[in-house]
Amino acid sequence: MPMLESDIRALARLSGVREVAFDDVIARFPNADTEGLSEWLAKIKPDRPQWFRVMTTNTDNAPELFSIDAQGRYVKQHGEDALVELLATQNLRPGETLKAPKPNGSDTKGESNPWSKQFKGTDAEREARKTSIIRSGTKFAASMAASAGVYISGAPLKK
């Protein structure tokens, strides 16, 4: 007995077929009792990879979320529909990106500001950096110190 179109769509969805390819699957599936849909899809997948979603386990770190160039490469390899599906996991559309995460957890504010308490480096490095910044311009040095809540001298800012 032939399968219903709604059953073919449901099984195709479970097998990882993209919705845009459902009509192609329905038109080409030899709806006979000799072969099931899952077996037929597994057999045809190498010939029609564009029908199938790219199954990724971790899309949170996918480079396509952070780079338009990576999105272009992804489209060339997997097709635009696959990119749309991938970006939809983060509520994005093609051409939109997320801000890339900072490497090695370097998200501590002030770690490169020598007037900050969070400065990463030794006391000698801190003083050398302060001197270098002051020599490049006191206006810039004052703004860096102020962002750390102190004067250039290191005294706390008055409120």
Tens of pLDDT along the chain (159 residues) come to: 677 888 888 888 878 788 888 888 888 887 766 678 888 888 888 888 888 876 555 566 777 888 889 888 888 877 787 788 888 878 888 888 888 776 665 546 778 899 988 888 899 999 999 999 999 888 999 999 998 899 998 888 886
Q: Is residue 70 part of a domain?
A: no
CB neighbours of 114 closer than 8 A, spacing ≥ 6?
A: 121, 125, 126, 127, 129, 130, 133, 144
- Asked if the structure places residue 134 within a domain, the reply is yes
- Domain range for 141: 104-159
Residue 47 lies in a domain: yes
- 98 assigned to some structural domain: no
Listed in sequence order, the DSSP H helices in the chain are 5-14, 22-28, 37-44, 68-78, 80-88, 123-136, 138-147
The answer to whether residue 19 sits within a structural domain is yes
Q: Provide the number of structural domains found in the chain.
A: 2
| Among candidate residues 14, 34, 51, the one where a domain is terminated | 51
The answer to whether residue 122 is domain-embedded is yes
Spell out the residues 6+ positions from residue 156 whose beta carbon is closer than 8 angstroms to its own.
Answer: 149, 150
Residue 75 counted as domain residue: no
Domain assignment present for residue 12? The answer is yes
